[in-house]
Structure 1
């Protein structure tokens, strides 16, 4: 008998502005609908306009709010810039960035040519880096957060999906490094509320 999934609780996202990429299908679409149920204001990005519209309709039913659609291919730098600009112009802020857009191309070192390799790395890594770079000033201002959708392929080795595995390993490292770089902009401010001194203790004070 299969074990039942453990129940989980998600706090309200009422009033939070979330930009979800890859929202036309899969994890991105499902995340968008859940966020709508939790009260988030959504900006949805995807390349398939028909499916993106379907997701938006489901979000509106779930959350009674009309999502902002910012369709386009994020590999295009101008599209990435406009995606952030339109989201912030429309809502006045950005609280959450969900980097869910990605592609999987089958192929080994013998069969994956450079066009395929570039397409996977540009979509799964370069566009994520660029969009995050553009979003960070707004997220620092709102004390927001970033969610990068990775895969077990980034941690384990699988044959036949070489470029994809490499791209997800890069996303894992990108996430770790970025978290360390941005931690001081979140954690030290939070200390003002959670520490009696309004700051972390110094080493000589601990000694």
Structure 2
């Protein structure tokens, strides 16, 4: 996969897709910078990366992507001297009908899910130009289609997709590729944080299996492997792409598959 020795930043690496992605890059021989707000969880990811590759070079940065973008990039360059791949994975989820939500929710989701990606991309771009590196943004299937009572989340992810396409054009002449992945329902902590009980969460996943033609929800590793694939030299002629990893959800006309 031509990732040995490459320096990769993975935001939101403390759990879920981010943790699985960091582990996959470490296994591929990359030098991985793990970004997250929860130091204890980052150390768990660090242990998983070491288990995948005992020789992996890792850097843990406890940080909030909404306020620490400059520190993240500067600390990475100070340690490794270069940057080859930026994975913008950190994100949050909140739902609610437009009649019930407030502007604070909109601001929170756009600040974390989109503005932080703008800041990290802006600061990382000069370093990626030097290495002819690339960016992979983690969007969502919800960026590709509308969902009831999820307007702020859907809009934030649709913005990520359009940003991906625009920045792919901005950086193409510099040989920097920019792509995104659009996961469907993946078993991660993002839904648990929104407050359901374990029983409610199990029922949620069972119900949402019907939304995916393959008849199941996804696992973080399945998204992680696609991210590593897009970041590798194997996809050197792919840029500006939004890749659904959703069990076929994006191709059905209804939310429920019989």
When normalised by structure 1's length, the TM-score is 0.82
Decide whether the 8 Å contact of 1:56 with 1:66 is kept in 2.
Answer: no
Instruction: Give the one of 8, 19, 29 matched to 1:39.
Output: 29
1:91 matched residue in structure 2: 80
Instruction: Give the one of 61, 64, 67 matched to 1:73.
Output: 64
2:143 matched residue in structure 1: 154
Stretches of structure 2 lacking an aligned partner (at least 5 in a row): 177-258
Which structure would you say has the larger RCO, counting Cα contacts within 8 Å and 6 or more residues apart?
Answer: 2
More strand by share: 2
For the aligned residues, what is the CA RMSD? 1.0
Deviation sequence 1:120-150 (CA, Å, 0-9, x none): 0000000110011000000000100000001
**Cα separation, 1, equivalents of 2:12 and 2:105:** 19
**Cα separation, 2, equivalents of 1:25 and 1:73:** 14
Which region of structure 1 is more displaced relative to structure 2, 110-119 or 32-41? 110-119
1:124 is aligned to 2:113? yes
1:26 matched residue in structure 2: 16
- The aligned length equals 175
**Cα separation, 2, equivalents of 1:89 and 1:119:** 30
**Cα separation, 2, equivalents of 1:134 and 1:175:** 15
1:179 matched residue in structure 2: 168
3-state SS in 1 of match to 2:62: coil
Deviation sequence 1:86-126 (CA, Å, 0-9, x none): 00110010000000000000112112211111110000000
3-state SS in 1 of match to 2:20: helix
Larger Rg computed on CA atoms: 1
**Cα separation, 1, equivalents of 2:2 and 2:23:** 14
Instruction: Give the one of 42, 46, 55 matched to 1:52.
Output: 42
Quote the offset at 1:15 in angstroms: 0.3
Decide whether the 8 Å contact of 1:16 with 1:95 is kept in 2.
Answer: yes
**Cα separation, 1, equivalents of 2:32 and 2:109:** 26
Q: Which runs of 4+ in 1 moved over 3 A?
A: none
**Cα separation, 1, equivalents of 2:53 and 2:82:** 19
Decide whether the 8 Å contact of 1:154 with 1:172 is kept in 2.
Answer: yes
3-state SS in 2 of match to 1:173: helix
Stretches of structure 1 lacking an aligned partner (at least 5 in a row): 1-10, 188-207
3-state SS in 1 of match to 2:164: helix
More helix by share: 1
When normalised by structure 2's length, the TM-score is 0.66
Quote the offset at 1:12 in angstroms: 3.6
Quote the offset at 1:66 in angstroms: 4.1
